[in-house]
């Protein structure tokens, strides 16, 4: 087998001027403004994972037999698999028997018919998070955003459903989709990310609780942004959500997900699966602002974020674009990918990954070129501060039949202080000689002179860092839907608070 494979590993440790090092201060958890907990009566199953627990979850959701069988099959496979160790992350062994796999507010038991019937405590939670769960009259010029709110294991409610339904757009919780659109779910579930793709997808497939479902009919341009907000609230629970987005021929949708969790001293597991399917001439833009609790300055607590996201450009000229702003989590393991199956299809990955204190990030993408004339673009911006570790891991592979494939990769790292690390691990695999693949990488640091220049113009050190980092991330921030770009810019500043004195 002829295979051209290049593995380049470059490690960079900052050699920043002495004074900045002295200025590097630690940032305490108090900067995380989403760290509150909501006090509601919860219905939670006993800790542990077994066939019985899976049957329990499936029964709770009134699922059809085929889905229960699907879950049990995934569980069988998971039992034979090993937790992956290749990522550049280090965390204590997770005891999967010591986790709770289903927790839902009791008030959701009776299945409130509309948002008006939802427990006000829950609605308040989202209000505090700044997420509108009321179909407010929007100001002129501001586009509407439909929201699905997932609280621990269940969806609390979805806004603008009726308005979307008029266009034939389906936007609902995964559980509802199983009931109301079983054919679509059965057809596409696991068709992009097979159950046993990896350890965490097998686990997710066995125990997933809720998530969002989107279907855009042929030729429809979804009239508003769709978004899902995931909130982990309960202690000692895992969140295993499942998102499935299908864009039928010639349709378009822009989708955003946001994530937050309370500050807790113990680590919590989040293992999600997201599948995107774009048919002929369809386009999906998927944006993520991931702000799970990162743990405190000493690395105590925080979310383990082990996520598999993959999009399938299943037919000709389909387009999928991933944009992610990753600021949270103690450990992130995540590679939103594109399978470029259709001829002329294209995939994009725009990423900002920030690590501070003791956070660890191993993230990147895979672009798998299968069809002819496929193109992909990767823009990755990694920012490391504190004692964190930030690794870009990317794969571009071109199948023998993928004539005239093109890829452009730009991978930039920015270091703040001299105790953090940045790694770049690109895998490039071209089995068709017509492929044109470009890779550019840079590593830089914020200089004392730049900081002083900003301070001389009236900015304090933190404002200066936020400004410089936002400039560094500009190419990616520009890709976010306008509604979220401003939010993301602020988040970039907040997550680096305390990185200089």
Q: Which of 427, 421, 384, 391 minimizes the C-alpha distance to 409?
A: 427
Rounded Cα distance between 144 and 483, Å, is: 10
Among 59, 460, 482, 486, binds another protein (CB under 8 A): 460
CB nearer another protein, residue 265 or residue 463 = 463
CB nearer another protein, residue 186 or residue 410 = 410
CB nearer another protein, residue 93 or residue 457 = 457
- Region of 48-56, 147-155, 339-347, 473-481 interacting with another protein (CB under 8 A): 473-481
Among 422, 473, 488, 496, binds another protein (CB under 8 A): 473
Q: Which pair of structure tokens corresponds to residue 291?
A: 């702000």
Residue 500 has φ and ψ, to the nearest 5°, of: -130, 160
The verdict on 474 binding another protein (CB under 8 A) reads yes
CB nearer another protein, residue 131 or residue 467 = 467
Q: Which of 257, 262, 275, 269 minimizes the C-alpha distance to 306?
A: 269
Rounded Cα distance between 101 and 60, Å, is: 12
According to DSSP, the β-strands at 42-44 and 389-398 are: unpaired
Write down the least CB distance from residue 81 to another protein, Å. 42
The verdict on 298 binding another protein (CB under 8 A) reads no
The verdict on 62 binding another protein (CB under 8 A) reads no
Scanning residues 381 to 420, which ones bind another protein (CB under 8 A)?
none
Beta carbons within 10 angstroms of residue 196's beta carbon: 17
According to DSSP, the β-strands at 212-216 and 170-173 are: antiparallel
Among 99, 459, 485, 494, binds another protein (CB under 8 A): 459
- Residue 310 Cα distances to 217, 222, 276, angstroms: 21, 21, 6
Among 118, 318, 468, 480, binds another protein (CB under 8 A): 468
Q: Which of 167, 165, 147, 166 minimizes the C-alpha distance to 157?
A: 147
The verdict on 467 binding another protein (CB under 8 A) reads yes
Write down the least CB distance from residue 469 to another protein, Å. 9
Write down the least CB distance from residue 460 to another protein, Å. 5
- Region of 2-10, 42-50, 133-141, 466-474 interacting with another protein (CB under 8 A): 466-474
Among 9, 128, 475, 482, binds another protein (CB under 8 A): 475
Rounded Cα distance between 480 and 384, Å, is: 21
Among 138, 165, 452, 486, binds another protein (CB under 8 A): 452
CB nearer another protein, residue 53 or residue 469 = 469
H/E stretch holding 106: none
- Region of 16-24, 214-222, 371-379, 390-398 interacting with another protein (CB under 8 A): 16-24
Is the dihedral angle over the CA atoms 428, 286, 463, 129 positive or is it negative?
negative
The verdict on 350 binding another protein (CB under 8 A) reads no
CB nearer another protein, residue 26 or residue 470 = 470
Rounded Cα distance between 24 and 30, Å, is: 17
Among 349, 392, 472, 484, binds another protein (CB under 8 A): 472
The verdict on 455 binding another protein (CB under 8 A) reads yes
Among 73, 448, 483, 487, binds another protein (CB under 8 A): 448
Q: Which pair of structure tokens corresponds to residue 349?
A: 């990955």
Per-residue binder mask for another protein (CB under 8 A), 17-56, x = binder:
x-x---x---------------------------------
Which residues have C-beta within 8 Å of that of residue 50, sequence separation ≥ 6? none
Among 471, 482, 486, 490, binds another protein (CB under 8 A): 471
CB nearer another protein, residue 37 or residue 447 = 447
According to DSSP, the β-strands at 10-13 and 421-430 are: antiparallel
- Residue 135 Cα distances to 138, 157, 447, angstroms: 8, 12, 46
Among 80, 90, 95, 458, binds another protein (CB under 8 A): 458
Q: Which pair of structure tokens corresponds to residue 119?
A: 């427990």
- Region of 81-89, 158-166, 358-366, 453-461 interacting with another protein (CB under 8 A): 453-461
Which residues have C-beta within 8 Å of that of residue 386, sequence separation ≥ 6? 24, 26, 27, 297, 355, 356, 357, 358, 359, 416, 417, 419, 420, 498, 499
Rounded Cα distance between 164 and 146, Å, is: 9
Rounded Cα distance between 303 and 238, Å, is: 9
The verdict on 240 binding another protein (CB under 8 A) reads no
Rounded Cα distance between 391 and 191, Å, is: 29
Write down the least CB distance from residue 458 to another protein, Å. 4
Write down the least CB distance from residue 470 to another protein, Å. 7
According to DSSP, the β-strands at 170-173 and 225-231 are: unpaired
Write down the least CB distance from residue 24 to another protein, Å. 13
Write down the least CB distance from residue 411 to another protein, Å. 15
Residues that bind another protein (CB under 8 A): 17, 19, 23, 447-450, 452-460, 463, 467-468, 470-475
């Amino acid at each position: 087998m002829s295979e051209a494979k290049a593995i380049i590993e470059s490690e960079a440790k900052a050699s920043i001027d002495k004074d900045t090092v002295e200025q590097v201060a630690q940032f305490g958890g108090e900067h995380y403004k989403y760290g509150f907990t909501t006090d509601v009566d919860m219905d939670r199953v006993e800790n542990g994972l077994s066939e019985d627990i899976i049957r329990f979850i499936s029964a709770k959701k009134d699922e059809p037999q085929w889905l229960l069988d699907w879950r049990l099959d995934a569980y069988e496979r998971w039992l034979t698999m090993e937790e992956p160790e290749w990522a550049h992350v280090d965390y204590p062994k997770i005891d999967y028997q010591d986790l709770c796999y289903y927790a839902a507010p009791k008030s959701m038991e009776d299945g409130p018919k509309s948002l008006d019937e939802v427990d006000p405590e829950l609605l308040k939670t989202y209000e505090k998070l700044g997420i509108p769960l009321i179909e407010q009259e929007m100001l002129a010029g501001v586009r509407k955003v439909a929201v699905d709110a997932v609280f621990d294991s269940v969806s609390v409610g979805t806004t603008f459903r009726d308005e979307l339904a008029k266009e034939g757009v389906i936007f609902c919780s995964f559980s509802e989709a199983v009931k109301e659109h079983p054919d679509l779910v059965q057809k596409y579930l696991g068709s992009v990310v097979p159950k046993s793709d990896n350890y965490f997808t097998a686990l997710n497939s066995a125990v997933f609780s809720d998530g969002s479902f989107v279907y855009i009919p042929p030729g429809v341009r979804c009239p508003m942004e769709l978004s899902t907000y995931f909130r982990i609230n309960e202690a000692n629970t895992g969140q295993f959500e499942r998102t499935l987005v299908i864009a039928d021929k010639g349709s378009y949708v822009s989708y955003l997900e946001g994530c937050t969790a309370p500050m807790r001293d113990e680590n919590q597991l989040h293992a999600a699966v997201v599948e995107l399917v774009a048919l002929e001439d369809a386009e999906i833009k998927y944006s993520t602002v991931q702000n799970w609790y990162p743990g405190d300055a000493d690395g105590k607590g925080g979310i383990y974020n082990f996520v598999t996201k993959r999009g399938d450009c299943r037919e000709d000229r389909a387009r999928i674009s991933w944009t992610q702003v990753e600021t949270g989590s103690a450990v992130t393991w995540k590679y939103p990918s594109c399978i470029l199956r259709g001829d002329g299809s294209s995939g994009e990955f725009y990423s900002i990954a920030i690590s501070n204190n003791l956070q660890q990030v191993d993230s990147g993408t895979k672009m798998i070129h299968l069809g002819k004339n496929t193109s992909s673009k990767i823009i990755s911006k990694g920012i490391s501060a504190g004692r964190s570790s930030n690794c870009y891991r990317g794969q571009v592979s071109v199948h023998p039949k993928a004539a005239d494939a093109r890829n452009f990769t730009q991978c930039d790292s920015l270091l703040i202080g001299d105790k953090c690390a940045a790694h770049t691990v690109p895998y490039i695999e071209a089995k068709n000689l017509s492929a044109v693949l470009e890779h550019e990488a840079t590593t830089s640091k914020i200089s004392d002179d730049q900081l002083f220049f900003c301070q001389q113009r009236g900015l304090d050190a933190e404002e200066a860092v936020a400004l410089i980092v936002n400039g560094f991330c500009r190419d990616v921030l520009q890709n976010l839907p306008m509604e979220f770009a401003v939010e993301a810019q602020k988040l970039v500043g907040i997550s680096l608070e305390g990185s200089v004195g």
